Structure 1
Amino acid sequence: MPRPTAPTTVHDSLVLEPRDVRFDWSQLPLHWIPDEPMATHTINVLHLLLPEGERWFVKVFKDALPMIRDDQLREEVLGFIGQEAIHAEAHQEVLDHLLGQGLDPRPYVRQVTWLFRRILGDKPGLTPAQRRENIIERVAFVAAIEHFTAFLGNWALNSPGLDRAKADPTMLDLLRWHGAEEVEHRSVAFDLMVHLDPGYLRRVRGMLISGPLLVHLWARGARFLLAADPTLEGRIKPTWREAQVNGRRGLLPQPGRMARSALRYFRPGYHPTQEGSSSQALSYLATSPAARAAAS
């Protein structure tokens, strides 16, 4: 079994700052990419998954804090927790706005909540050794999911197709602010996993479970939103072919590129700093309207 190489120390001066952003959704149209309901709702799945998912990230990392033996990593994990908590609330506001526009996301969200709280949540009756193992396993799931969120964040920062399509600027700022922070903290979950268990098998298992689950949830969420959209009356159904077309147009991440990114995670020498650009992420955060307003 191959062993991963030790990650290069690249974050000696990394300070993760939770930015308490606010967005005004009062003018957000239901199809915020004009005349593109499928692309709109495919991205809207993030608003269904992320509030409960990121609250779960926060819970898992809080459980892992007493197990961390490195002061710098502990500070990064605390910053990660702060950023993810704000991400969850920002996306929750979009869900509330969708409900006000006649699209009820609650049936799907209830299923997501059940998954994260009952299936991936705490297991009662574990011994201390079993509880430690359960926490490390869930950290590995988070690390794999964070690989995808960093990929999506990097895509959002480099998606001129959304600008060409005249996507709503407030939603674009949310996606790019969130994406920039995902790129900024892309190494934290992976570094925590390696700190708790440097074994290659743990990483592989985390991706083999989390990757297909995430794809399934996203496809199911897109079907749900298109079916629940009161303006469509069930006329549009998502297909992989349409996803590929929208990917080539720059309205969605290209499925093939996402798959190749997932495969890179299995390389023994992989480290998240090989994906995306911290300088680009920080440059966007310096200009993001929401982040600048929060800083002032």
Structure 2
Amino acid sequence: MSNKARALPVPRASEHTPLHARNVSFDWAGTPLHWLPGDPSTTHTINVLHLLLPAGERWFVHVYRQALPYIRDDALRADVIGFIGQEAIHSQAHDAVLPRLRELGLDPTPYTAQVDWMFEKLLGDRTLPPGRARRWWLLERVALIAAIEHYTAFLGEWVLGAEELDRRGADPVMMDLLRWHGAEEVEHRSVAFDLFMHLDGGYRRRVRTWAAAFAALFFTWQRGVRFFMENDPTLPNGKATFKEYVRGGREGVLPTFGAIARTVPQYLDRRYHPSQYGDTQQALDYLATSPAALAAEQRTAGRPARPEQHGES
């Protein structure tokens, strides 16, 4: 038996659910700059999501559309198509926060321009000849997405249980955005890894791309927090500090470093499968009560049927 065959984990079938995009929208008119009252450091640490995700998830969609022709399993193809739909909505939802930040005096354009460059140029399509080189670059990016999705699922699970944010009066609209998105990350957490295993599954590629993804996330996130703190118009001497992050983790308003550290051996274990971590039912329970998700369902239910649905041409 080959090393690759031995490395194939068995997913938990009970954690699989059919995926569909929920076309949510949020009203940001009443959301304050510091949506976690009295805690700009935690607010801006989480706000980095709005800087990274629009470009990052557009990139996910672009790469996965290129991968679709190589998928030989109908069930996985359906999962990937559902994943693409959800990620496209995620990108739009976080992008819609940025105009509100500008209204409140914090223009994120200098930072988002750098993020756009990273995903569109550094990680974008390259002029490569058809064949092995082009496929290698596609597989590298598919593996990178699998590693990144390990962390988006971790964050999704964390925010679903982060009750301290509610106790401290976090803005309910922002919390619904974060938990709706987090729930969908938990819901589709296996898709990126399953696609990677289907197209390649090489353990060395998994380790190499995990290291690149982890380093990139750490670098871009801490730079994003620094950008927010230094440009917040209400903080004349705003600075991002390690001490503040540790404090947030200790108080339950941010993930702890210990929790983040435990994600490393999880992903690098040859027996790893994302379905082994997280709780799909917890995610679905939140989605069943999310104000934005419920409103999206009501809009969909009230939409007139298209002519072709009644057999008209």
TM-score (norm 1): 0.97
Residue pair 1:98, 1:104 contacting (<8 A) in 2 also:
yes
* Range with bigger deviation, 129-138 or 56-65: 129-138
Listed one character per residue, the Cα deviations across residues 112-135 of structure 1 (whole Å, up to 9, x for unaligned) are: 000001000001133322111111
Cα distance in 2, alignment partners of residues 198 and 32 from structure 1:
41
Asked whether 1:43 is paired with 2:42, we answer no
Count of equivalent residues: 295
Letter matched to residue 265 of structure 2: L
Q: How much does 1:227 deviate?
A: 0.6
Listed one character per residue, the Cα deviations across residues 28-62 of structure 1 (whole Å, up to 9, x for unaligned) are: 00000000000000000000000000000000100
Asked whether 1:131 is paired with 2:144, we answer no
- Bigger Rg, structure 1 or 2: 2
Residue pair 1:157, 1:176 contacting (<8 A) in 2 also:
yes
Residue pair 1:73, 1:192 contacting (<8 A) in 2 also:
yes
Cα distance in 2, alignment partners of residues 37 and 187 from structure 1:
33
Partner secondary structure for residue 96 of structure 2: helix
- 2:253 maps to 251
Letter matched to residue 125 of structure 1: L
Q: How much does 1:13 deviate?
A: 6.1
- 1:277 maps to 279
- 2:270 maps to 268
Q: How much does 1:9 deviate?
A: 5.9
Partner secondary structure for residue 265 of structure 1: helix
Cα distance in 2, alignment partners of residues 91 and 262 from structure 1:
27
Q: How much does 1:275 deviate?
A: 1.3
Letter matched to residue 186 of structure 1: R
Letter matched to residue 13 of structure 2: V
Residue pair 2:156, 2:185 contacting (<8 A) in 1 also:
yes
Q: How much does 1:73 deviate?
A: 0.2
Letter matched to residue 258 of structure 1: I
Residue pair 2:180, 2:286 contacting (<8 A) in 1 also:
yes
Letter matched to residue 108 of structure 1: Y
Cα distance in 1, alignment partners of residues 255 and 108 from structure 2:
23
- 2:303 maps to none
- 2:211 maps to 208
Q: How much does 1:155 deviate?
A: 0.4
- 1:294 maps to 296
Residue pair 2:189, 2:274 contacting (<8 A) in 1 also:
yes
Asked whether 1:75 is paired with 2:78, we answer yes
* Range with bigger deviation, 254-263 or 91-100: 254-263
Cα distance in 2, alignment partners of residues 211 and 90 from structure 1:
24
Cα distance in 1, alignment partners of residues 127 and 103 from structure 2:
38
Letter matched to residue 134 of structure 1: W
Write the mapping of 1:36-185 to structure 2, written as runs, cut at 5 A. 36-185=39-188
Residue 222 (structure 1) aligned to one of 206, 222, 225: 225
Residue pair 1:247, 1:253 contacting (<8 A) in 2 also:
yes
- 2:242 maps to 240
Listed one character per residue, the Cα deviations across residues 128-165 of structure 1 (whole Å, up to 9, x for unaligned) are: 22111111110000000000000000001000110111
Letter matched to residue 258 of structure 2: G
- Aligned pair in 2 of structure 1 residues 197, 183: CA closer, same or farther (>3 Å)? same
Q: Percent identity?
A: 55
Q: How much does 1:264 deviate?
A: 1.0
Residue pair 1:148, 1:262 contacting (<8 A) in 2 also:
no
Q: How much does 1:250 deviate?
A: 1.2
Cα distance in 1, alignment partners of residues 243 and 268 from structure 2:
27
TM-score (norm 2): 0.92
Residue pair 2:33, 2:101 contacting (<8 A) in 1 also:
yes
Q: How much does 1:263 deviate?
A: 2.4
**Runs of 5+ in structure 1 lacking a partner?**
none
Asked whether 1:23 is paired with 2:42, we answer no
